Amino acid sequence: MSTPSAGRSAIRNGLRLTLFGLCLLAGIYVLALHYTPMEIRQGLAQKIFYLHAPAAWSALLAFVFVGIVSVLYLWLQDPRLDLFAASSVEVGLVFCMVMLTTGPIWARPVWGTWWTWDPRLTLTLLLFFIFLGYLALRAALTDRSERARFSAVIGIMGLLLVPFIHLSVYLFRTMHPTPIVLKPSAPSLPPVMLTTLLASFGVATVLYIAFVMVRYGLALEAFAREEADLAA
């Protein structure tokens, strides 16, 4: 098996991509603070949007991948799929943390409260806990194949739970700004702001890929080491 080298090269390439992504992130800050106009009612607080929304995007991307890869794992039983899912969960949790910290910082001056039980906030918080539980269960299991199968089942369930949480909490009145980009009509954002936002989504995606590559490479290395220990 050529996993050691595959793991190493994934880590190396992931680190390079991370460096590149962080440079791009610095570019986003410059773009957001210097070239994008100030929002008239929210003022400077609105700038956090260029960090909050892309973090939300990457977290969602991470958890959707976990769900899809989990289905594939139950079908193909390839341990690499499980390692990828676990890596994606960890990275998703990091982006989730960014979203859950930047949100209240913005909400305090704009909504006048740190937290509210709005559908999207509740959904994010619950997803955060589901995938924290996913990692806790993984840590508590010793058998590798058992760990992979249980994780896959939770991954699929987590993805299916999303519409239910959204639906059930949506029946309460929502306070969160409604989507402004991904909606049936044209995006209702000034062109400059939209460019900055879309660029920040791109950067968040690059960072997601970079982080998962590094984490996945590390997981591959650990897997290969375990394999060698078992063989010895």
Partner 1 sequence: MSDPASVVSEDAFLRPILAVAAKDLRLELRGKTGLLSAVMFAALVLIIFNFSRDITLVSNVDFAPSVLWVTFAFGSVVTLNRAFHLERENAAFDGLRLAPVSRSSIYLGKLLANLVFAGIMELVTVPLFILFFDVSMGRAWLGVAGVTALATIGFVSVGTVFSAMVVRTRFAELMLPVLLLPFMVPPLIGATQATTRLLAGRPLSELWGWLRLLALFDIVFVTLCALTFWAVVDE
Look at phi and psi of residue 77 and say left if phi exceeds 0, alpha if psi is from -120 to 50, else beta.
left
- Give, for 196, the enclosing helix (H) or strand (E): helix 191-231
* Contacts with partner 1, residue ranges (CB under 8 A): 74, 122, 126, 129-130, 133, 136-137, 140-141, 143, 146, 149-150, 152-154, 156-157, 160-161, 164-165, 167-169, 171
Write down the least CB distance from residue 167 to partner 1, Å.
6
Write down the least CB distance from residue 140 to partner 1, Å.
4
Q: Which of residues 40 and 143 has its CB atom nearest to partner 1 in the complex? A: 143
Write down the least CB distance from residue 136 to partner 1, Å.
6
Cα-based angle 152, 158, 163 (whole degrees, multiple of 5): 145
Q: How many other β-carbons are positioned within 10 Å of the β-carbon of residue 211? A: 23
Q: Which of residues 93 and 207 has its CB atom nearest to partner 1 in the complex? A: 93
Q: Which of residues 28 and 86 has its CB atom nearest to partner 1 in the complex? A: 86
Write down the least CB distance from residue 145 to partner 1, Å.
8
Q: Which of residues 82 and 221 has its CB atom nearest to partner 1 in the complex? A: 82
